[in-house]
Amino acid sequence: MAVIAAGWIAVLLLGGGLALDRTLTSLVSRSFDEQLEYMLTAMIASAEIEAGGEVYFYRTLGDQRFLEPNSGLYWQIDGEGFEPYPSRSLWDRTLTLRGDHFDNDAHFYNSDQFEGEPLRMAERSVILPGSDTRWTFAVASATKDLDAQIAEIRSILAWSFAALGLGLFLMALFQIRYGLSPLRRVRAAIQKLRNTGANRITEPLPEEVQPLVQELNELLEHSERQAEEARTHAGNLAHALKTPLTVVNNAATAHAPDLAETVIREARTMRRHVDHHLARARAVGRRAVGRARTPVCESAEAVRRAVERLYPQVRFDIAGNRSATVAIERQDLDEILGNLIENAAKYGGGSVFVTVDAEPETPMCTIWVEDDGKGIPVDKRIEIFDRGARLDTGKPGTGLGLAIVRDVAEIYGGSVAIDESEDLGGLLVRLSLPRALPTEIEEVD
């Protein structure tokens, strides 16, 4: 910010200084030329033609410098066929005039015909009464005084603009420091929060940084919630693995004859728990990435194609709102629907119905998965969501499908419930997931 401020101050002051320098220099130069033109007009007004055709002044010019040799102010009159008529200040020198053309008005130009004495000259062509000769009247003045005035103006401008630029830069630095002081207070508050172990910023801070403080507090709350979830998750996993490990350890210590079978059985149990917790951890990690948008029907169709290869005899029917979109990652939605549809195909009687957005008037997107199987008794519909719970042990499985469905759905703010299907008579799983917010394009449309 300081570098940008210094750059802009330098550019603006440089541009303004150059413009002001040009303006003032032009004004001083124009005033200098006006004085020369005034003298030139006085010469023409005082000139007459004598009997021999020569030009002369019937009155003396008022400026004393015309009488002082090498004074820096000179005049001269040239006429074709006549000797130049110079001022006394020229002494033994003569001005070289540009008398090869006729100038109705005063013509100004610079000349360096005198070594070491640059001149500013004004010329005008006149035909005086009583003469047919074209006379060229000229006034020349050394530019030493003009250059000194311009140098003085530029010196004043340079010092003034330098002081102004320094003052503006110091003011910008003060403004930056004062404007960013709330951020230093926020930094101090965060440092105090880290040193004292507090979990919120409670110090009164300026209104300009209150949104930042609020976001920080919400981030701290989110991190604390995630840490608590991680601790709970680690505790659940440790508790789930503790019993199988104890069984294996006791069997190995007692040299049980069925040690191999016990190890295999308990290893499968531990693997089911590890798979379950890994699925939950992946869902939590993907949820933290950002806002997700997944079309439900696309995911359901992809799952249906995969399950059809395992159960080709089952009839699948997917209906409902084809544009329904939920705020959940595609991988997690595939895993949820994969568990529900595969269970319906495995334990049903040959028909699986999936209805997307079955209750469109609700704020949640509801997905129904129905089958024509035996269903689940009312008293078992709660415990079926427990890890490892299985009602039909005659078919292969881990007993973690519905537990994973429940946990992943709850991570995204959804829910899952079990009921009886009125159309097919089997099991009805009601999955509710948060709808995805419309994008900016959709809002405009």
Tell me, what's the pLDDT at 17? 92
Lowest mean pLDDT among 119-123, 168-172, 381-385, 425-429: 381-385
Question: Rounded to 5 degrees, what are φ and ψ at 260?
Answer: -60, -45
The closest alpha carbon to 417, from 431, 403, 407, belongs to: 431
Residues 6+ apart with CB under 8 A from 178: none
> What band does 24 get if pLDDT is binned at 50, 70 and 90?
very high
Assigned fold of 294-444:
Heat Shock Protein 90 (3.30.565)
Q: What is the DSSP letter of 390?
A: -
Max distance between CA atoms of the chain, in angstroms, equals 157
> What three-state secondary structure class fits 241?
helix
Alpha helices in 143-209 (DSSP H): 144-196
- Distance CA(33)–CA(402), nearest Å, equals 100
Which tens digits make up the pLDDT trace of 316-369?
Answer: 999 999 899 998 888 888 888 998 999 889 888 889 999 998 788 888 999 999
Which tens digits make up the pLDDT trace of 243-260?
Answer: 788 888 888 888 888 888
pLDDT at 288 over 70: no
Choose between 8 and 391: higher pLDDT: 8
CB 352 within 8 A of CB 345: yes
The closest alpha carbon to 412, from 330, 321, 355, belongs to: 330
* Mean pLDDT of the region 288-296: 71
CB 412 within 8 A of CB 283: yes
- Distance CA(272)–CA(200), nearest Å, equals 39
Q: How far is CA 441 from CA 145, 290, 327, 368, in A?
A: 72, 19, 17, 30
Tell me, what's the pLDDT at 285? 58
Which tens digits make up the pLDDT trace of 97-141?
Answer: 887 778 888 899 999 989 889 999 999 999 888 888 888 999 999
* pTM, 2 dp: 0.47
CA 442 and chain centroid, separation: 24
Radius of gyration of the chain (CA): 50
CB 75 within 8 A of CB 57: no
Tell me, what's the pLDDT at 385? 63
pLDDT at 79 over 60: yes
The closest alpha carbon to 154, from 54, 56, 307, 21, belongs to: 21
Q: Tell the burial category of 255 from Cβ atoms under 10 Å away from its Cβ (0-12, 13-18, 19+).
A: exposed
Tell me, what's the pLDDT at 343? 87
pLDDT at 289 over 60: no
- Distance CA(403)–CA(334), nearest Å, equals 15
Percentage of residues in the chain having pLDDT higher than 70 = 87
- Distance CA(394)–CA(69), nearest Å, equals 132
Choose between 401 and 110: higher pLDDT: 110
Q: Where are the domains of the chain?
A: 2-149, 210-287, 294-444
- Distance CA(95)–CA(77), nearest Å, equals 9
The closest alpha carbon to 99, from 45, 137, 140, belongs to: 137
Which tens digits make up the pLDDT trace of 134-190?
Answer: 889 999 999 998 999 999 999 999 999 999 999 999 999 999 888 888 888 888 888
> What band does 202 get if pLDDT is binned at 50, 70 and 90?
confident
Tell me, what's the pLDDT at 439? 59
Q: What is the DSSP letter of 158?
A: H
Assigned fold of 2-149:
Beta-Lactamase (3.30.450)
Computed over every residue of the chain, the mean pLDDT equals 83
Percentage of residues in the chain having pLDDT higher than 90 = 33
Q: What is the DSSP letter of 385?
A: G
Which tens digits make up the pLDDT trace of 301-325?
Answer: 999 998 998 888 999 999 999 899 9
**Helix, strand, coil abundance in the chain, percent, nearest 5:** 55, 15, 30
Residue type, 6: A
Strands 351-356 and 315-320: parallel
Residue type, 125: S
Residues 6+ apart with CB under 8 A from 187: none
Tell me, what's the pLDDT at 366? 92
CB 99 within 8 A of CB 125: yes
- Distance CA(403)–CA(410), nearest Å, equals 11
Q: What is the DSSP letter of 65?
A: G
- Torsion angle defined by CA atoms of residues 50, 55, 58 and 61, in that order, rounded to the nearest 10 degrees: -170
Lowest mean pLDDT among 22-36, 88-102, 196-210, 323-337: 196-210
Compute the C-alpha angle 47/50/53, nearest 5°: 100
- Torsion angle defined by CA atoms of residues 322, 327, 332 and 338, in that order, rounded to the nearest 10 degrees: -30
